[in-house]
Chain A
Amino acid sequence: MNPGARTSPATTRPDQPASRRQALRLAVLASAAAGPWGTDQADLLRHLDVPVGAATTPDLPAVPGFVESTFNPLVHEVARQCLTGRVRAGAGTAVVLASVMGDATTTDLASQLLVAGQVHNPLLFMQATANAVLGFVSREFGITGPMSVLSPPDGLAVPLLLTADLLLADPELDRVLLLGVELAGTKRTEHAYRRLAEQGGRAHPPAADVAAAVLVAREPVQPGPPVWITGVGPAAVAAADPAAPPHLTTDHVGRCGSAQGLVQLAAAHALVAGGHADALLVPDPAARDELALIELAGPATLGWSTQDKEGTP
């Protein structure tokens, strides 16, 4: 099964350095994505080549204390799917969340109340930053490692992966949960996106609220064959190498804005981990050209075997 994956020749391979390619060595332990297609990986894969209908937000379990916005339930849902059964309580896990616009629903609701002269709901004070839902996640899973929130200028996936690579250079950390979330445009953020585009920016709003998560580690965890992120590199890799893995791109899951690359990475991970593809190149259409392609490799491509572990990047 490889629905929606378009095969195109490329000049960059996971084992073949290219100009400005940055090698990474991140074992992917889990991934999740939630959006108009639903909240399950199976739903996501089903819609790689079957367009979702209207751009709607999936049904999400409420998160106590968080109101008005889907930002926090989305974060919690994809975090829960990745973390459950895969992390130990303690300081070895870091969490990094990225969003270009953040929880614009809450920000704009609070601002409209202010402009209208109405009293703020104190709950908006608590959820005014993404820290709060990360605090909720940290309590639920006993995570005492560092938690950070980033606002990249465009695509979320590569800044998250580079941050994970940086954090995993710390001997005190062994896993990093990467979270990306974008909400459908509000009147203000739509306006801001347009102005940014006029200035050459590549960020754009998703058609509906979306989130994705990838749990990465220095080393893979048994059971199951490892899937590695082996590098990020230029997008202009379309022509010369017939041996390169195929690209995974899909527009059918709906426009995911700055989270598109991360959503596609979650789908690619599911395909490779499920044995439906040996390796995939994952474009991030929102990223700058030089860092718009993510390389994902499974055991066959790397020559990995459970006996000798050779071939790990």
Chain B
Amino acid sequence: MRRDVLVTGFGVHTVFGRGVEALRRGVFAGTPAFAPATRFDTRPYRTPFAAQGPGDPRLAEVLADCAEDALAAAGLAAGSAADVLLGCAGDFTAVTRFWRGDRAASPVDSVPAHLAEGLAARFGLRGRHLAVTNACVASAHAIIQGCRLIATGRADTVLCAGAYLVEEENFAKFDSGRALARDGAVRPFAADRTGLLLGDGVAALVLESAEHARARGARPLARITGWGASSDAHHIAKPHPDGAGMAAAIRQALRGAGRDSAADPGGAADAEARPVDYVNAHGTGTPANDSAETRGLHAAFGAHAAAIPVSSTKSTTGHLLEASGAVEAVITLLALTDGVLPPTAGHTTPDPACDLDYVTAGPRPAPVRRALSLNAAFGGMNTAILLERP
């Protein structure tokens, strides 16, 4: 029997600030936060825009803040046996500073596993720790691996996190790849979408087995009932135009939601047939992603697809790269608990190739019992995480 996986705490940081209220004020109000980046000289680049918070905080410190919030919300004391899985490619400012000859720079911050190790050490978490680095699905993969560890009885508690703060190395790479929206607006699923913009994002979630949470009296915030991960087998950078891999990840998550679950012993077929009430899409605002993702949702949900509200919160937060999965899982969880769907900002011109219900007219109250968070990445990697009310 597969053990049930609960979320019992989280912490989050975006361009809107630290914590849930900042997220509600920004993401759930549909307020884009793009402005010229100030952490580096943007004049060499095609666009100056990013969703960057004030100052130049150290990634490890923001990550620690979010982990502290998550552990406090879960009521977990220091010294817990939790594993740490961090979706992060390292602090690239440490790379830049090294090559600029900054002797005060600590190059170890550029090593992803060192950040995971530092997090475990800081909070005395005694389990194993590992970084997951596969770009925009990294923290989604961290969450999925955490779910697998708990579901199979290999761990009781896992701190899953994702972290990215806007910096020049990735900004330059995305600029060279002509992937950034030059006019400072991210318009997911709209006909006039021109690209993505980067954003600050860090989140940490405490995943816990239902038995462990119950035994210590922890309050569950949500259940993660299904997860899926797939590859397109199509292209090194572009998504499959039919969203085949994304559809496969969604179907896998829905199948898994019914399989051998202690809390929901219904069959996989029943789980697949049940609709979801909300989809937090990857929705980068790039021409290739959004039409492919739309087709993938059609393929996965068939006739139900048109009735499912979908939004891309990258329209307000920007693209959080390795942190996307963790932050967007938190946003999806809030949609469940608040009964409000975050809107897709900037969606002014419909695209015939993107024909779903994209929650375009501001936040939408809705009873949400079951919601999907989707992510995709370079190399044709796709993830789907299914959250339900506890």
Contact = CB atoms under 8 A, between A and B. Distances in A.
Interface of A: 65, 89, 91, 95, 100-102, 107-108, 110-112, 114-115, 117, 119-122, 124-126, 128-136, 138-139, 141-153, 159, 163, 166-167, 169-172, 188-189, 191-192, 195-196, 199, 201
B116 A153 contact: yes
The 5 closest A-B pairs by CB, nearest first: A135-B379, A131-B379, A146-B229, A120-B176, A125-B177
B154 interface: yes
Given A146-B229, A153-B130, 12 more contacts: A95-B231, A108-B99, A114-B99, A120-B176, A132-B379, A135-B381, A144-B233, A144-B244, A144-B245, A149-B134, A150-B130, A171-B259
Interface of B: 44, 89-90, 92, 95-96, 98-100, 106-108, 110-114, 116-117, 128-135, 138, 141, 144-145, 148-149, 152, 154, 168-170, 172-179, 229-237, 244-245, 248, 252, 259, 377-381
Given A131-B381, A170-B148, A153 B99 contact: no
Given A111-B96, A115-B99, A130-B134, A153 B175 contact: no
Nearest to B141: A148
Contact of B173 (A110, A141, A147, A150): A110
7 contacts: A91-B248, A108-B99, A124-B173, A130-B134, A144-B232, A144-B244, A188-B110
Contacts of A119: 44, 176
Contacts of B117: 153
Given A144-B230, A146-B229, A134 B173 contact: no
A216 B346 CA distance: 47
Nearest to A291: B128
A126 B130 contact: no
Given A132-B236, A144-B245, A192-B107, A153 B231 contact: no
Contacts of B130: 150-153, 159
Contacts of A89: 233
Contacts, number: 199
Contacts of B173: 110, 120, 124-125, 128
A65 B236 contact: yes
B111 A101 contact: yes
A110 B177 contact: no
A147 B111 CA distance: 21
A68 to B, nearest CB: 13
A163 B98 CA distance: 33
Given A114-B169, A142-B233, A150 B175 contact: no
A274 B230 CA distance: 35
Contacts of B176: 119-122, 124-125
Nearest to B109: A192
A149 B132 contact: yes
Given A110-B169, A146-B231, A150-B133, A129 B89 contact: yes
A264 B329 CA distance: 40
A234 B44 CA distance: 53
B311 to A, nearest CB: 25
Contacts of A142: 233
A143 B233 contact: yes
Of B90, B114, B252, which is in contact with the most chain A CB atoms at under 10 Å from its CB? B114
Contact of B152 (A112, A166, A192): A166
Nearest to B107: A192
Contacts of A131: 134-135, 377-379, 381
A93 B356 CA distance: 32
Nearest to B154: A166
B386 to A, nearest CB: 15
Given A135-B231, A148-B229, A195-B107, A169 B169 contact: no
